[in-house]
A = this chain, B = another copy of it.
Amino acid sequence: MSTDPLVVFTPSGKRGHFPAGTPILTAARQLGVDLDSVCGGRGICSKCQVTPSYGEFPKHGVTVKEGALSEWNAVEQRYDDKRGLKPGRRLGCQATVQGDIVIDVPPESQVHRQVVRKAASARAIMMDPATRLYFVEVEEPDMHSPTGDLERLERALRDQWQIPAVKADLSLLSKLQPTLRKGKWQVTVAVQRDHREGTARIIEIWPGLHEQGLFGLAIDLGSTTIAAHLTDLETGEVKASSGLMNPQIRFGEDLMSRVSYAMMNPGGDREMTAAVREAINDLCAAISEEAGISKELIVETVFVCNPVMHHLLLGLDPVELGQAPFALASSESLSLPAHEMGLTTMNPRAQVYILPCIAGHVGADCAAVALSEEPGKSDDLVLIVDVGTNAEILLGNTDRVLACSSPTGPAFEGAQISSGQRAAPGAIERIEIDPVTKEPRFQVIGSDKWSDEAGFALDIATTGITGICGSGIIEAVAEMRMAGLLDASGLIGSAQQTGTPRCVPEGRTHSYLIHDASAEGGPRITVTQGDIRAIQLAKSALYAGARLLMDEMNVDKVDRVVLAGAFGAHISTKHAMVLGMIPDAALDKVSSAGNAAGTGARIALCNIAARAEIERVVREITKVETAIEPKFQEHFVAANAIPHKTDPFPELASVVTLPSPAFNTGGDAEGTGGRRRRRRG
């Protein structure tokens, strides 16, 4: 047994004997203890802070006496004077082993620290971003053995950080010489690894020790909205989040109208590419200003998006995505320079990573949901639904994962609804209809109170009541059905049939009046028969997609359902089930994952191994194509009705209209039959 002092690290429990005088950082590295250091043990970065413990540690079988560590030294004192060390902390590179010792590595000193994603989620993100900072001392040039400054920097990275080879762009090379001299041959470099090529690239260089941190953007590029999360690449902390409308909406509300725009208008794809890139540049500029972070510090951006947005972002004509066989230009993940994509409001050498697409209809956004929700690691059979203008649907467990997308259209987002609007202050987001009086009460974004509670009017005084958002319209339709205002086919009854004057005639059908401020010049908010039809189409498409995957999996029910998407977070699962949006499941088995696609982007931003993982996972997912599958149409038609236990009035003749084909299958060889059906019954 060694007579050298014993060093025990917590929380890892790793232990070993080291000769007296060994720095704690050295001991940690030899044991593989996760202890950070940017400056490589020079006592200037303070990343290797540790807390020594003294006293009896029966658990570790060790007694730590005074003097087990070397004396507080001048380097530590200087650092403490300048920036302050927390009480009890030592610098791991300065304090050396003198006797048996227990050393605690606080979370902020761990390279691979874990970031809790959110309270609701059990899992954490393990920090291991592609880009990290390295402080190096570079040899000065010597006329007698002439090598370039870059080559000596490379050697320093190899010798001091075991980074075998790095690449550098011309623009980096052009600032290399002045920076090395300004830093007196000490510099900090941001080095980015490429997980596929196994190469590394110098993204940025600063003189001396760089202490302003390193940041990345996780961007969820949706058809309707663009959301960005500015993330600290050292801590994983989200410094700011921001979003804006996708300006491509002016070229078409849904994806297929944008593809049509590109097909009909020469250069139309380039117009849309320019519009979305400009919006992303604006968003990045705004978010970095909000967080007070220089754009040069944003060194990475991860995108998740559907295939059409993917192609339009990259400047690829999406025309092939509008017709069978829906061929992607490239399905694998992409790593490329941000400037090549016209992204200018970040570091000029920032790199973009785009998650792989699963299929021509099932994009990198769905891959991100798979990365975040990990259906392939679930023991029970989980159905994951990401509701947006297109719904991405995943079904799977540890055996197998299936994926498809379903063209729900924008109704769930409040678009194409007569009183519909985005989820913004003033929008009705929750609604209840009394089954006896048929009177509604509701909640509006911006107030916690129900409309019949005291103080409601005051809360909404500034915003007013402006419309119904996506979650509101779902609740409205489900409540109307439960209150007997709708029959199973979706037809709104008349005032006579329903017994409430709120069912008012409108043309040849009826509407249900929720709120009328027209006397004061305000809006008159109703649910029209057209709104019901739009919701029926959307929910049928969603349900049919889920059923199709269940057929493929050969199951009749799922163990649990996860609703993803910003919208999924607000949806009432009870109402969704009444409406028949999702297959039946016990209410406690339906959960919301929040913006799972955005979370997937953040994971890929914070952990390089996650990139390789999702690339592997996507290759193993079974892709199911809804557009050419006759069964999808069958399920779709069958799902149109809104059955409910209590059917208060007899069926009326119903109008069933299939959605206009979201994708042109290029002929009708698959026998899907005519796409529009006429009035039945």
Q: Spell out A's residues near B (CB within 8 Å).
A: 140-151, 168-170, 173-174, 176-178, 197, 199, 314-317, 319-320, 324-332, 336, 340-341, 357-360, 623, 625, 628
Count chain B CB atoms within 10 A of each CB in A146, A149, A625 and give the residue with the most.
A146
Question: Known contacts A170-B336, A170-B340, A340-B170; is A316 also within 8 Å of B177 by CB?
Answer: yes
- Name the distance in Å between A231's Cβ and chain B's nearest Cβ: 25
Residues on the B chain within 8 Å of A147, using CB: 328, 331
Q: Which 4 A-B pairs have the closest CB atoms?
A: A148-B331, A141-B327, A146-B359, A148-B330
Residues on the B chain within 8 Å of A142, using CB: 325
Contact check, A315 vs B359: say whether CB atoms are below 8 A apart.
no
Contact check, A148 vs B332: say whether CB atoms are below 8 A apart.
yes
- Name the distance in Å between A500's Cβ and chain B's nearest Cβ: 49
Contact check, A341 vs B170: say whether CB atoms are below 8 A apart.
yes
- Name the distance in Å between A645's Cβ and chain B's nearest Cβ: 40
Question: Known contacts A149-B330, A151-B330, A199-B197; is A325 also within 8 Å of B170 by CB?
Answer: no
- Name the distance in Å between A143's Cβ and chain B's nearest Cβ: 4
Partner of A174 from the list B145, B316, B360, B623 (CB cut-off 8 Å) is B316
Q: 13 A-B residue contacts at CB 8 Å?
A: A140-B325, A141-B325, A143-B360, A143-B628, A146-B331, A148-B330, A149-B329, A151-B330, A151-B332, A170-B341, A173-B314, A173-B329, A177-B320
Q: How many Å lie between the Cα of A210 and that of B147 in the bound state?
A: 43
Contact check, B170 vs A328: say whether CB atoms are below 8 A apart.
no
Question: Known contacts A170-B340, A336-B170; is A148 also within 8 Å of B316 by CB?
Answer: no
Q: How many Å lie between the Cα of A340 and that of B167 in the bound state?
A: 15
Q: How many Å lie between the Cα of A329 and that of B173 in the bound state?
A: 7
Contact check, B625 vs A329: say whether CB atoms are below 8 A apart.
no
Partner of A173 from the list B197, B316, B324, B325 (CB cut-off 8 Å) is B316
Q: How many Å lie between the Cα of A340 and that of B340 in the bound state?
A: 11
Contact check, B340 vs A148: say whether CB atoms are below 8 A apart.
no
Residues on the B chain within 8 Å of A144, using CB: 623, 625
- In chain B, what residue has the closest Cβ to A178? B317
Partner of A146 from the list B140, B314, B319, B623 (CB cut-off 8 Å) is B623
Chain copies in the assembled complex: 2
- Name the distance in Å between A38's Cβ and chain B's nearest Cβ: 25
- In chain B, what residue has the closest Cβ to A170? B340
- In chain B, what residue has the closest Cβ to A319? B177
Contact check, A149 vs B332: say whether CB atoms are below 8 A apart.
no
Residues on the B chain within 8 Å of A146, using CB: 325-328, 331, 358-360, 623, 625
Partner of A328 from the list B148, B325, B327, B623 (CB cut-off 8 Å) is B148
Contact check, B357 vs A148: say whether CB atoms are below 8 A apart.
yes
Contact check, B148 vs A325: say whether CB atoms are below 8 A apart.
no
- In chain B, what residue has the closest Cβ to A199? B197
Q: How many Å lie between the Cα of A199 and that of B167 in the bound state?
A: 14
Residues on the B chain within 8 Å of A151, using CB: 330-332
Contacts A141-B326, A146-B327 given; 9 further ones with Cβ under 8 A?
A146-B326, A147-B331, A148-B328, A148-B329, A148-B332, A170-B340, A173-B330, A177-B320, A197-B197
Residues on the B chain within 8 Å of A149, using CB: 320, 327-330
Q: How many Å lie between the Cα of A147 and that of B332 in the bound state?
A: 8
Q: How many Å lie between the Cα of A574 and that of B199 in the bound state?
A: 54
Contact check, A169 vs B340: say whether CB atoms are below 8 A apart.
yes
Partner of A327 from the list B168, B174, B177, B341 (CB cut-off 8 Å) is B177
- Name the distance in Å between A406's Cβ and chain B's nearest Cβ: 16
- Name the distance in Å between A652's Cβ and chain B's nearest Cβ: 39
Residues on the B chain within 8 Å of A329, using CB: 148-150, 173-174, 176-177
- Name the distance in Å between A607's Cβ and chain B's nearest Cβ: 24
Q: How many Å lie between the Cα of A175 and that of B147 in the bound state?
A: 41
Residues on the B chain within 8 Å of A357, using CB: 148
Q: How many Å lie between the Cα of A144 and that of B325 in the bound state?
A: 9
Residues on the B chain within 8 Å of A325, using CB: 140-143, 146
Residues on the B chain within 8 Å of A331, using CB: 146-148, 150-151
- In chain B, what residue has the closest Cβ to A320? B177
- Name the distance in Å between A316's Cβ and chain B's nearest Cβ: 5
- In chain B, what residue has the closest Cβ to A140? B325
Count chain B CB atoms within 10 A of each CB in A178, A199, A325 and give the residue with the most.
A325
Q: How many Å lie between the Cα of A320 and that of B216 in the bound state?
A: 34
Residues on the B chain within 8 Å of A143, using CB: 324-326, 360, 625, 628
Q: How many Å lie between the Cα of A330 and that of B150 in the bound state?
A: 5
Q: How many Å lie between the Cα of A258 and that of B438 in the bound state?
A: 87
Residues on the B chain within 8 Å of A336, using CB: 169-170
Residues on the B chain within 8 Å of A315, using CB: 170, 174
Residues on the B chain within 8 Å of A176, using CB: 329-330
Q: How many Å lie between the Cα of A327 and that of B142 in the bound state?
A: 8
Partner of A170 from the list B170, B174, B177, B314 (CB cut-off 8 Å) is B314
- In chain B, what residue has the closest Cβ to A270? B174
Q: How many Å lie between the Cα of A628 and that of B144 in the bound state?
A: 10
Q: How many Å lie between the Cα of A336 and that of B168 in the bound state?
A: 10
Residues on the B chain within 8 Å of A326, using CB: 141, 143, 146
Residues on the B chain within 8 Å of A140, using CB: 325
- Name the distance in Å between A178's Cβ and chain B's nearest Cβ: 8
- In chain B, what residue has the closest Cβ to A273? B174
Q: How many Å lie between the Cα of A331 and that of B151 in the bound state?
A: 7
Residues on the B chain within 8 Å of A314, using CB: 170, 173-174
Contact check, A317 vs B148: say whether CB atoms are below 8 A apart.
no
Q: How many Å lie between the Cα of A148 and that of B311 in the bound state?
A: 12
- Name the distance in Å between A274's Cβ and chain B's nearest Cβ: 14
Q: How many Å lie between the Cα of A671 and that of B147 in the bound state?
A: 24
Residues on the B chain within 8 Å of A178, using CB: 317
Count chain B CB atoms within 10 A of each CB in A317, A328, A329, A625 and give the residue with the most.
A329
Contact check, A174 vs B317: say whether CB atoms are below 8 A apart.
yes
Q: How many Å lie between the Cα of A178 and that of B327 in the bound state?
A: 12
Question: Known contacts A144-B625, A177-B316; is A150 also within 8 Å of B341 by CB?
Answer: no
Q: How many Å lie between the Cα of A199 and that of B314 in the bound state?
A: 23
